[in-house]
Amino acid sequence: MCIFCDIIDHKIPSSVVYEDDHTLAILDISQVTRGHTIVMPKKHCANILEADEETVQQVTMAAKKVAALLAEKTGCAGINLLNNCGEAAGQTVNHLHVHVIPRYGEADALEIHFKPSENVDLNEVLAQLK
Ligand code: AMP
Ligand code: ZN
């Protein structure tokens, strides 16, 4: 059972922002900021690592269209595109989706902090990745 597949199949109601043959974008039920939208492929895949290239391209292009729509209609100051891949990264629904989150300034409800880790040797990391 997958809640997003049920939404795509119209078994669960949703607020559709954008739809095409391969993707669906709906308002997130928890609006972290006004207009927070999630974009998903109609084809079930658990996450970005398991998705085929075509599906990733379709979702990415749909997310770009949704971002443009939100920028035009909400008057937001910026937009975050966010994909959580895996439980450790905060993924709670195992159907690939991209959050498109309009930003209205420092007072809005989303906080993302990049805190540099100390003692990471870039050469060691590069060697690990090659
Ligand atoms: P993630 O934590 O990245 O897996 O995001 C899953 C998102 O799906 C959360 O932000 C939820 O608020 C959202 N969500 C869960 N159920 C629904 C639903 N029925 N309609 C709209 N959004 C939902
Ligand atoms: Zn699914």
Per-residue pLDDT band for 83 (boundaries 50, 70, 90) equals very high
CB atoms within 10 A of CB 34: 14
pLDDT above 90: residue 118: no
pLDDT given at position 64: 98
Nearest ligand to the C-alpha atom of residue 50: 2
Nearest ligand to the C-alpha atom of residue 27: 1
CATH code of the domain covering residue 21: 3.30.428.10
- What is the per-residue pLDDT across 30-49, written as a single tens digit (0 to 9) for each? 999 999 999 999 999 999 99
Task: Establish whether 99 is a catalytic residue.
Answer: no
CA of 31 to the centre of ligand 1 (A): 10
User: Which member of 22, 36, 44, 97 is catalytic?
Assistant: 97
| Numbers of helices and strands, H then E, in the chain | 3, 5
Residue 116: give the domain boundaries: 3-129
Domain count, the chain: 1
Average pLDDT over residues 108-125: 93
